[in-house]
Amino acid sequence: MLSGGRRRLFDVWRRVFDLSWPVMVEQFLRTLMRTTDIVVTALFSPAAVAAVGLADLYARLPLRIGLGLGSGVIALSSQDTGSGATTNRDEAVTQAVLLGAVTGVPFVLFGFLFGQLAIDILGAESEVARMGGLYLAIIFATTPARHVALVAARSIQGAGDTRTPMYVNVVSNGLNIVGTVVLGLGLGPVPELHIIGVGIATAFGNVFSALVLVAAIWSSWTPAGFVRPRQWTITRQLLAISAPRIAEGMVATALEFPFNSILLFFGTEVNAAYQIGRRVYQQLTGPLSRGYRTGTSIIVGQTLGEGDPAGARYNGWAAAALGVVTVGSLGGFLFISAEWLVSLFTDDPETLSYAAGFARAYALAAPVTALYIVLAGALTSGSDTKTPFIARVSGMAVGMLGVSAIGGIYLGYGVPAVYASIVVYYVWATAYVTVGFYRGSWIERTQSMMDERGSTPSED
How does pLDDT run along the chain (460 residues), one tens digit per residue? 456 778 899 999 999 999 999 999 988 888 788 777 877 887 777 777 777 877 887 888 899 999 999 999 999 999 999 999 999 999 999 999 999 999 999 999 999 999 899 888 877 788 888 988 999 999 999 999 999 999 999 999 999 999 999 999 999 999 999 999 999 998 888 888 888 999 999 999 999 999 999 999 999 899 999 999 888 999 999 999 999 999 998 898 888 888 878 888 888 788 778 878 888 898 889 889 999 999 999 999 999 999 999 999 999 999 999 999 999 999 999 999 999 988 887 777 888 898 899 999 999 999 999 999 999 999 999 989 999 999 999 999 999 999 999 999 989 899 999 999 999 999 999 999 999 999 989 999 999 999 998 888 765 4
Neighbours of 261 (CB within 10 A): 12
User: Is there a contact between 196 and 40 (Cβ–Cβ < 8 Å)?
Assistant: no
- How far, in Å, CA of 301 to CA of 306, rounded? 9
| Whole-angstrom distance, CA of residue 51 vs CA of residue 192 | 18
What is the spatial distance between Cα 196 and Cα 139, in angstroms, rounded to a whole number?
A: 10
Q: Are 79 and 302 in contact (CB under 8 A)?
A: yes
CA gap 338, 345 in Å, rounded: 12
DSSP letter, residue 123: T
Euclidean distance between CA atoms 13 and 212, whole angstroms: 31
Backbone CA torsion sign across 118, 208, 285, 17: positive
Angle at 63 between CA 291 and CA 295, to 5 degrees: 15
Inter-residue contact 70 to 290 (CB < 8 Å): no
Q: Which helix (H) or strand (E) holds 296?
A: helix 268-305
Q: Distance between CA atoms of 245 and 248, rounded to whole angstroms?
A: 5
Count CB atoms within 10 A of the CB of residue 440. 15
pTM: 0.87
φ, ψ at 230 (rounded to 5°)? -135, -25
Q: How far apart are CA 152 and CA 171, in angstroms?
A: 16
Pick from 286, 259, 134, 262: nearest CA to 202: 134
DSSP 128-195: HHHHHHHHHHHHHTTHHHHHHHHHHHHHHHHTT--HHHHHHHHHHHHHHHHHHHHHHHT-TTS---HH
Contact 74, 382 (CB under 8 A): no
Taking the C-alpha atoms of residue 297 and residue 179, their distance in angstroms, rounded to an integer, is 33
Q: Which residues of 215-241 are buried (b: 16+ CB within 10 A; e: fewer)?
A: ebbeeeebbbbbeeeebeebbebbbeb
Do residues 394 and 428 touch, judged by C-beta distance below 8 A? yes
Distance CA 69, CA 76 (A): 11
**Cβ atoms 146, 210 nearer than 8 A:** yes
Domain ranges of the chain: 1-230, 241-460
